[in-house]
Structure 1
Amino acid sequence: MNASAQHPLAVRTTCAYCGVGCGVLAKPDGRGGAAISGDAEHPANFGRLCSKGSALGETLGLGTRLLHPMQRGVDGAMARTTWDDALARVANGFADIIAKHGPDSVAFYLSGQLLTEDYYVANKLMKGFIGSANVDTNSRLCMASSVAGHRRAFGSDTVPGSYADLDEADLIVLVGSNAAWCHPVLYQRMLANKRARDAKIVVIDPRRTASVEDDDLHLPVAPGMDTALFSGLLVHLADTLALDYTYLAAHTTGFTEALVRAREIAPDLTAVAAATGVGAADIARFFALFRGTDKVVTCYSQGVNQSAQGTDKVNAIINCHLATGRIGRPGMGPFSLTGQPNAMGGREVGGLANQLAAHMDFTPEAIDRVGRFWRAPNMAQREGLKAVQLFDAIGRGEIKALWIMATNPAVSLPRADYVRDALRKLDLLVISENVISNDTVAAGAHVLLPAAAWGEKDGTVTNSERRISRQRAFLPLPGEARPDWWAVSQVARRMGFGDAFAYRSAADIFREHAALSAFENDGARDFDIGALATLSDDAFNALDPTQWPAHAGEPLADSRFFAAGGYYTPDRKARLIAPERPALHEAPSPAFPLLLNTGRIRDQWHTMTRSGLSPRLGAHLPEPFVELHPDDAAQHGLRDGGCARITTRYGACILKVAISAGQKRGALFAPIHWSGETAATARVGALVAPITDPFSGQPEAKATPAAIAPVTYALRGFVLSRAALQLPAESWWARVAVRGGTAALFASNAPAAEWRTHAAELFGDDVELAEYLDEPRQSFRAAAFQDGKLVGCLFVGPAEAPPQWDAVKALFEAEALETQQRRAVLSGRSTDGLADAGPIVCACFGVGLHTIRDALESGAAVSVEAIGQSLRAGTNCGSCLPELRKIVAGAKVSETA
């Protein structure tokens, strides 16, 4: 449907965050911003957006943008340069290193944030023309185990079902997936099904997360033991004669071997309970639900994939669906919930080091086929290095040049401090980015190339259900920013490959990508979008969300795979896989008695370079934290709201303590989002072991042995400023976005009087400074005014009774203050006409805890539904509903529920 016909002021595009692939309507305001709303016509979300998608308009500013090419001079300093000089340095640098050390001495590291067209061109240059497969992606950290599991079972990386199955399933099993926070739009579809059709939901997760409703079955499986649970399920299905023997015989092989192994791993209910740490009664209930429910969808995500045995976990799940024939039909099948907006598109173009474009592998036939299609002079002949191994090779000096696009590996990879140090050893580090600074850039880039950002990009992405959507530009390219595909093509031309990279637009690239998918494809390959290979520029611009396959000569339609077999193996039959016995790669020890599990929180994304710009998103969980069970907190001398040092063999962090009964005993949970740019000591990736799955190469991010100990700070406080902040080096701090400036929450052992000096340093000499110091109570407060406007605040108090910043932040964010309000700033209290909303609960609409409690106490709202009607909280993405229920029930709201 043409966007202009239905929404004359809006541009239809696709969200920049997770793999749900929500449609977005963006209405530019003419001042560099845009109003953002959900696209009711997009089949992924039907108009609903999560808190992050709703706040996209707050992330469009240019304050943190890289707007011009830059390169490092002989003095080591970065300076602005021209595109011609920057491209020449990249092309000549790569060519010289290849000439001296061979093609495997260079590498690309890409991202699921790239558009398909960017991915395609980079993959083509490296694998077809440079002649190395050393091109991998941060999708290796996300869904690589799903890819490997699909390929082992199906012969192809095929997602069998679609989102519509979530509406039709009678049982939804969430495995290692906090969908309420990480895929909230899909989770709301699940809850709608539950309300309308009484569908049951089972959540399999060591933590009791926001995805667990009161009437759901929660199985707090021990870390790493998913394979034992699903092996036990396969045994149970066999023993109760609940298998689909007709489907097994006609469309699968390997059942006997898989069942024999399952019996070795989990011979009976007692063994499953012992391995998983889950009560036998709850396991029996889950087995009975799966056995007795025809329409079952099993959704799995990072809790399954990010494991040293992730591929086996995926195949253990798929085995149960294959054995019962519950695949490819409405309301049933295994379903991988993808983490990034274009992880799927990257897989389609061979963005992983062990794949070729169009879902082809490194077989002699496929290498020849792709080489002939590209007319490539130097096709890579073997798989390249996967992400963790790639950076190991950099650390050893084997890879001399690296081009990083749209990702921040110095934060996100395991053993992140090692990665950061390895980057400094490169002869040439090229980074295509849209932010001027992050931990990876700071590691020592030689060339920075300004990339187009969301809102300026033009191309396609593919979501978790195989649906290709357009990402359209609704803002002009700022400064000298350019699309990533353009920069890669320009380098390719300077390296002598101009004829193969003469693209004029993203549409040119997409047509070639679609044509390759159909090239010599007689149905033996799943990925085929040949119907889109002849789109005109206008048709490409107007392309509606389209699910693949899209065969030439056939009408476009939604589809499912494998209901009647037809797998992409040589005999067209699926493979049931016998997994290895589940085991932790490294068990806890006296030195490291706990297991560290890492993951995401509701309102932040990856390393916060985009989401961290939004004041709304920063208001929910503003500080990096570690969550642990009350018993573990007591054993290690920790208090809720205090600080703790978490240590592993690879690094250490200091994080705020959050005590939660929903956390499994013996385990820690810490979010991945904070970096050296946004917090003092919260680079959680630096703690994670560099252990990888042998099939997928995906790192184990859920079970690193760790120790924890209290860290005591005498004072806590906050600072708000219109200008950039530089806190004292000895402080523990976390930056937070606020309207009109920047802020930080901090802890310190410096006495309150010393912060009087820091206030003068922070706010400068040209301000009017109002101060209050109470040394006996270790309290200091300062407010800086300039021409009557509040330009800064600094509050410090005892750690056991820290100053609260909600009211002060509201005053700081106000356009102007009346005299009474100016006088009240140092009190830290609300003033008439400027309500203190309290800590944010609903990020979509900015509804705070105090506002919600006031509505309950006044009788204006008496239920979650009434809160939604009067305050709108919980009525958009729904990810705050678990907290709203706790507030209504009068319970303490867990900050990490």
Structure 2
Amino acid sequence: MTIEAESKSTETARSLTQFNSSTSRRQLPMLLQARDGTMTRELLLHPGQHGLGMTHESLAADTTTTAVCGYCSTGCGLKLHVRDGQAVGLTPETDYPVNLGMACPKGWEALRVLESDDRATVPKRRSSDGDLVELSWNDALELFCSKFKSIQAKHGNDSVAFLSTGQMPSEEMAFLGALTRFGMNIRHGDGNTRQCMATAVTAYKESFGFDAPPFTYDDFEQSDCLVFIGANPCIGHPILWERVLRNKNNPEIIVIDPRRTETAMAATDHVPLNPKSDLSLLYAITNELITNDWLDRSFIREHTHGFEQLRSHVARFDAESVARSSGVSADQIRRVAAKIGSGKAVSLWWTMGVNQSYEGTRTAQAIINIALITGNIGRPGTGANSITGQCNAMGSRLWSSTTNLFGHHRFDLAEDRKKVAEALHFPVESIPSEPSWSYDRILEGIRNGEIRGLWVVATNPAHSWIDQDDARELLNRLDFLVVQDMYESTETARHADLILPAAGWGEKEGTFINSERRYGMLKKVRQSPGQALADFQIFRAVAHYWGLGERFAEWTDPESVFRIMQRASVGSPCDISGIEGYEHIDRCGGIQWPWTAADAATSNDNIPPIQRRLFADGTFCYADGRAKLIVDEITPLPEVPDDTYPVMLLTGRGTVSQWHTQTRTSKSPVLRKLYPKDPYIEIHSSDAQSMGVFNGDLVRITSRRGSIVAAAMVTPTVRPGQAFMPMHYETTNRLTLSHFDPHSRQPSYKNSAVRIEKA
């Protein structure tokens, strides 16, 4: 179905942009249709919000505007070139403080992936014979509400859940979380950030008192020693690696990783530890730091709790014994500790190699401990720094009301519920006092018959969730599955009973928060295809059809929700009350939180410094201002290689041109040329020789969960007895084991026992 701007009738357009809670349910279908029967585009837009800083008239002319990329958490600024209201090209923004004129291949191709033939363009339902049948938005919304309400009536409110994303703007996440949890009585909902950042969140909260990544990207350039643990920024975050290459201090670069990754190849010291021995290795490094008195004792004394417990705990992890278990020599352990201990500005960085681990939270806290006891925090070039995964995982952590209450408050604190209710202008009794189940518990709820209906928004669990065959079988058990996505071809959409077509990056507006806590602008510079709507407008329509229009009357457009977010943030560590609005964020090249009203009042023209760190004064987010040093016992691998499954399979980022489940990157012919089309597995030459396998041969990889075929890539970058597969291929997660960090409930994708044979 084609779509055109409603320019023929200003009266119709005016009525559409005035759509609010006073619109009756019977009026809405008429307002959703233009006079010629095609879907009107004006419903997508609030008046004057056709693109930040651009009016509808200026969009019609040739112009440029800067928006934040929608792939990873780096948050690069892209200059969009607009002609006749449509972005026709882009270039990296040279003045944006994040990327400084650089962009990776995914960023360069961000517009092209919007033009795919498999875009979801009209609502569709699954017929009794299994076919997808088009239906109107009115019928889709009626079906959505009637099905979920009937499931709740029969099985209880908690029988419906949602799974969301780190890919949507903060305002859409806020809307979804508030709509479901404070309106539709859907208590259980989680995001795919559980798969990438839950460990970092939990570690920061316990150690600092708040989910507070302390760094700014300038620290990559200011360190004299950078330590990367389970991180491969050369591939995973290439623009951040470019920032490392700009470092003029000739820094030590230490990479702790089982594989000889692209980042490890550039290291001054690569530590090729055995998989999942990182916690004991970090304890051994900590023990060396204490033994040699490479400490900031005044910082420990004045700003931390738990040092004596830490000292006693790590004393058991001497270099010789840890060398035997980790596969790293005692000399290298001591050498790495000496480099950290002698550094004047040491920064420690981690990402999925730590987070996606069954003991990831304690591993992250072992990294934090090292930064704290050496005083490497709050100063340029320092910090215990989690590099986030998705473009707006930070927004999800703060605003989605999944595991934390809106604005990173707590469900179990009455004063927090009261504060949030007042900020949202909601009745306090509408704010639940209990948090949601985690992602894995929601899926177990499907298995147990507790969850009967599921709303999946902008994520693809049939591809990305651990032990994939089991996940798909669980999706088929649901009474009703709604998938809201840009594309109707995703693995999860194949299981859907109802597909709602959503706009993508560049087709809507809002804010993303990057790894360094910087709010940046997403802008609408393209028309979405067919009848696809911004997720924000879908949530508005659901609220209306559910009968919640009055409660969400203030939620008229993304910037109105941003103002609600500001009210809820006041007095918290993530306070953004000093931001004047979207134009302010745009004008400043993004704004890092916190930026309070007091900050604004004392700054020159309310222009924040470009780079800001947390904890410069040594004050943390606990009531006493002190950070906690946290340790724990080592736990064994849940699944170790044996005679039947003798190889340890690692998974992770494949190439810089792939992204997650390839839902978007596979749509670009340029990106497809930059990585192998078919799945491959990296194996060591000695293992290949024993199997009679040559480079390029097909091999069968079998775990206790499933069996797949992939091409062998014989390489020295993995060690004997280990193998590596990129996570982006659909088949990879047929092999992975369902086991989780007990504190963060994050899946441990990085270690599964497999058997490899020539196919």
- Structure-2 residue corresponding to 1:646: 701
> Residue 706 of structure 1 aligns to a residue in which SS?
strand
Aligned residues of 2:254 and 2:268 also touching (Cα < 8 A): yes
Counterpart mapping for 1:445-844 below 5 A: 445-502=496-553, 503-518=555-570, 521=571, 525-532=572-579, 535=581, 544-555=589-600, 556-557=608-609, 558-602=611-655, 603-622=657-676, 623-675=678-730, 683-711=731-759
Does 1:357 pair with 2:402?
no
Q: Residue type matched to 1:40 in 2? A: T
Q: Residue type matched to 1:283 in 2? A: I
> Residue 108 of structure 1 aligns to a residue in which SS?
strand
- Structure-2 residue corresponding to 1:753: none
Q: Shift of the alpha carbon at 1:55? A: 2.2
- Structure-1 residue corresponding to 2:605: none
Aligned residues of 1:224 and 1:582 also touching (Cα < 8 A): no
Measured against aligned partners, the alpha-carbon deviations of 1:824-877 in whole angstroms (never above 9, x if no partner) come to xxxxxxxxxxxxxxxxxxxxxxxxxxxxxxxxxxxxxxxxxxxxxxxxxxxxxx
- Structure-1 residue corresponding to 2:296: 244
- Structure-1 residue corresponding to 2:377: 327
Distance in 2 of aligned mates of 1:142 and 1:90: 29
Q: Residue type matched to 1:70 in 2? A: K
Distance in 1 of aligned mates of 2:229 and 2:322: 16
Aligned residues of 1:111 and 1:407 also touching (Cα < 8 A): yes
Q: Residue type matched to 1:596 in 2? A: L
Query: How many corresponding residue pairs?
Result: 690
Q: Shift of the alpha carbon at 1:311? A: 0.2
Relative contact order: is structure 1 or structure 2 higher (C-alpha 8 Å, sep ≥ 6)?
Answer: 2
- Structure-1 residue corresponding to 2:353: 303
Distance in 2 of aligned mates of 1:76 and 1:662: 46
Q: Shift of the alpha carbon at 1:446? A: 1.4
Aligned residues of 2:685 and 2:716 also touching (Cα < 8 A): yes
2:334 corresponds, among 273, 276, 284, to 284
- Structure-1 residue corresponding to 2:481: 429
Distance in 2 of aligned mates of 1:275 and 1:294: 30
Q: Residue type matched to 1:15 in 2? A: C
- Structure-2 residue corresponding to 1:849: none
> Residue 651 of structure 2 aligns to a residue in which SS?
strand
Distance in 2 of aligned mates of 1:435 and 1:149: 35
Aligned residues of 2:158 and 2:186 also touching (Cα < 8 A): yes
Aligned residues of 1:225 and 1:582 also touching (Cα < 8 A): no
Structure showing greater Rg: 1
Distance in 2 of aligned mates of 1:314 and 1:198: 26
Q: Shift of the alpha carbon at 1:542? A: 5.6
Q: Residue type matched to 2:191 in 1? A: T
Aligned residues of 2:62 and 2:82 also touching (Cα < 8 A): no
> Residue 609 of structure 1 aligns to a residue in which SS?
coil
Does 1:12 pair with 2:66?
yes
Distance in 2 of aligned mates of 1:241 and 1:62: 59
Q: Residue type matched to 2:118 in 1? A: T
Measured against aligned partners, the alpha-carbon deviations of 1:158-205 in whole angstroms (never above 9, x if no partner) come to 001110111100001111111101101010111221xx2211111111
Aligned residues of 1:258 and 1:579 also touching (Cα < 8 A): no
TM-score (norm 1): 0.75
Measured against aligned partners, the alpha-carbon deviations of 1:197-229 in whole angstroms (never above 9, x if no partner) come to 211111111000111245621001111111111
Q: Shift of the alpha carbon at 1:629? A: 1.1
- Structure-1 residue corresponding to 2:462: 410
Aligned residues of 1:595 and 1:706 also touching (Cα < 8 A): yes
Change (3 A) 1:591 1:167: same
Aligned residues of 2:62 and 2:81 also touching (Cα < 8 A): no
Measured against aligned partners, the alpha-carbon deviations of 1:110-144 in whole angstroms (never above 9, x if no partner) come to 01111111100111122222334411111111011
Distance in 2 of aligned mates of 1:76 and 1:660: 45
Change (3 A) 1:220 1:582: farther
Aligned residues of 1:225 and 1:583 also touching (Cα < 8 A): no
Q: Shift of the alpha carbon at 1:64? A: 1.6
> Residue 690 of structure 1 aligns to a residue in which SS?
coil
Change (3 A) 1:29 1:645: farther
Structure 2 unaligned regions, length at least 5: 1-51, 601-607
Q: Residue type matched to 2:312 in 1? A: V
Aligned residues of 2:520 and 2:586 also touching (Cα < 8 A): no
Distance in 2 of aligned mates of 1:589 and 1:362: 44
- Structure-1 residue corresponding to 2:255: 203
Q: Residue type matched to 2:718 in 1? A: Q
Counterpart mapping for 1:50-129 below 5 A: 50-129=104-183
Distance in 2 of aligned mates of 1:542 and 1:64: 36
Distance in 2 of aligned mates of 1:350 and 1:28: 32
Measured against aligned partners, the alpha-carbon deviations of 1:294-334 in whole angstroms (never above 9, x if no partner) come to 20111100001000001011000000111111111111011
Q: Shift of the alpha carbon at 1:2? A: 6.7
Q: Shift of the alpha carbon at 1:482? A: 0.8
Q: Shift of the alpha carbon at 1:33? A: 6.2
- Structure-2 residue corresponding to 1:45: 99
- Structure-1 residue corresponding to 2:90: 36
2:218 corresponds, among 143, 164, 177, to 164
Aligned residues of 1:297 and 1:335 also touching (Cα < 8 A): yes
Q: Residue type matched to 2:164 in 1? A: L
Distance in 2 of aligned mates of 1:334 and 1:282: 21
Measured against aligned partners, the alpha-carbon deviations of 1:474-520 in whole angstroms (never above 9, x if no partner) come to 111221111112112221222222122232211111111111111xx
Distance in 2 of aligned mates of 1:320 and 1:183: 24
Measured against aligned partners, the alpha-carbon deviations of 1:583-626 in whole angstroms (never above 9, x if no partner) come to 31221121111111111122110111111111221113222110
Distance in 2 of aligned mates of 1:586 and 1:580: 18
Aligned residues of 2:483 and 2:498 also touching (Cα < 8 A): yes
Q: Residue type matched to 1:612 in 2? A: S
Q: Shift of the alpha carbon at 1:68? A: 0.8
- Structure-1 residue corresponding to 2:75: 21
Q: Residue type matched to 2:212 in 1? A: T
Q: Residue type matched to 2:590 in 1? A: P
Distance in 2 of aligned mates of 1:215 and 1:531: 41
Root-mean-square deviation (CA, aligned residues, Å) is 2.0
Distance in 1 of aligned mates of 2:74 and 2:584: 24
Change (3 A) 1:105 1:3: same
Q: Shift of the alpha carbon at 1:380? A: 2.2
Distance in 1 of aligned mates of 2:683 and 2:218: 36
Does 1:391 pair with 2:452?
no
Distance in 2 of aligned mates of 1:542 and 1:105: 45
Distance in 1 of aligned mates of 2:737 and 2:266: 35
Aligned residues of 2:419 and 2:568 also touching (Cα < 8 A): no
- Structure-1 residue corresponding to 2:5: none
Aligned residues of 1:2 and 1:542 also touching (Cα < 8 A): no
Distance in 1 of aligned mates of 2:671 and 2:86: 20
Distance in 1 of aligned mates of 2:157 and 2:422: 20
| Aligned sequence identity (%) | 33
Structure 1 unaligned regions, length at least 5: 676-682, 712-897
